[in-house]
Amino acid sequence: MLANFKLHFARIFFFVFLIFSAACTRITTTELGAGLIPVVDGVNTFDTIMELQTDTFDESDTTRIYNANNMVIGAITNDPIFGTTQAELNFELKPSFYPFKVPGTKDSLVVDSAVLILSYKGYYGDSTQPLNVSVHEISPTTPLDPFYNYPVNFPAVKPVSTIGALSNTIPLDIRTLADSVNNRFENANNQIRIPLRMDVARRFLKDYDSTNAYLNDSAFQSYFKGFSIKVQSSNPANALLYVNLLDTNTKLALYYNTSTTGASVRDTSVIYFKFNSAFGGYANFVTRNTTGAEISNRITTTSRPDSLVYVQSAPGTYVRI
């Protein structure tokens, strides 16, 4: 019985060995398919030369930025390769509910200040040069359409103009924008803080109330069309700042103090207006000017191919190979 077991085991071992050997070597017992099996290790290496044609195309007229995207403000004034860039941001900030009432007793309310705060998400360019930024009011004749997604070249489609400044021009030191802000009302970082004029603060805290501008959304839109942030490019400016409207850091902060009970005890407080993703209008306008820059000689206007291609982030260029 032991001899039979040994014989059976030997047959199994031989059969496994035969399968393993056949799997690891070429089958040489037949010529069928021999022309399809490479000579060495089943791999052949070939080389070839292909002639390619490349083109650079302008895509600025088709680019759209959505409200969840990071948006851009700033200016690039001396790029010899790509030319100049100018970026402004237009948007609405609103109360979180209607009819809205500033907490406290209106007759005792004392206006402190108003600050426009933007969520800072980084920069591109030279951080050592300040950006001179100002805030303007959007004109009633060109209101933002909250249900229209503006292309970056929107002035050619739906122009947005302004009627006056809401702030002085202030220099932004890009190197400090990521610093922390710690006070009674804020414990945050990555904020761009632009103080607005005192008459603007008085307008939002004293002139507007639940009987007029704060009655409902339509009423508020009829009183105030939104903010437009512009960067002066007359002075050397070579940076673009990225901001996000949906981030909680973006808001209009209105500081005031009042007596909540009508007594002599007063309290300093703040209210915030924020961006409404469903009903808030916005338009990020980015202008590229390639006149005199090297890229202007490479952007394709005909079917003529070029030996060099230039890739610029949207709204910029795309490349076809």
Q: Structure tokens of 130?
A: 């300040």
Burial class (CB in 10 A: 0-12, 13-18, 19+), 120: buried
Question: How far apart, in whole angstroms, are the C-alpha atoms of residue 258 and residue 270?
Answer: 11
Residues comprising the chain, all counted: 321
Q: In this structure, what token pair is assigned to residue 16?
A: 């496994």
Nearest in space to 224 (alpha carbons), one of 127, 143, 168: 143
d(CA 219, CA 110): 24
Closest to 252 in 3D by CA, of 229, 218, 284: 229
Alpha carbon distance 83, 120 (integer Å): 25
CB-based contact 254:205 (threshold 8 Å)? yes
Q: What is the pLDDT along the chain (321 residues), one digit of tens a residue?
A: 444 444 454 555 555 555 555 455 555 555 665 666 555 555 667 778 888 777 777 776 667 888 899 999 999 988 888 888 999 999 999 999 999 999 888 888 999 999 999 999 999 999 999 999 999 999 999 999 999 888 887 655 667 899 999 999 999 999 999 998 888 888 899 999 999 999 999 999 999 999 999 999 999 999 999 999 999 876 778 999 999 999 999 999 999 998 765 556 667 899 999 999 889 999 999 888 888 888 877 777 666 677 777 787 777 777 777
- What's the CA gap between 124 and 73, in Å, rounded? 11
Query: pTM of the full predicted structure?
Result: 0.79
Per-residue DSSP letters for 28-69? -S--TTGGGS-SSTT-----------BEEEE-TTT-B--TTS
Contact at 8 Å (CB) between 215 and 98?
yes
Q: Is the CB of residue 171 less than 8 Å from the CB of residue 74?
A: no
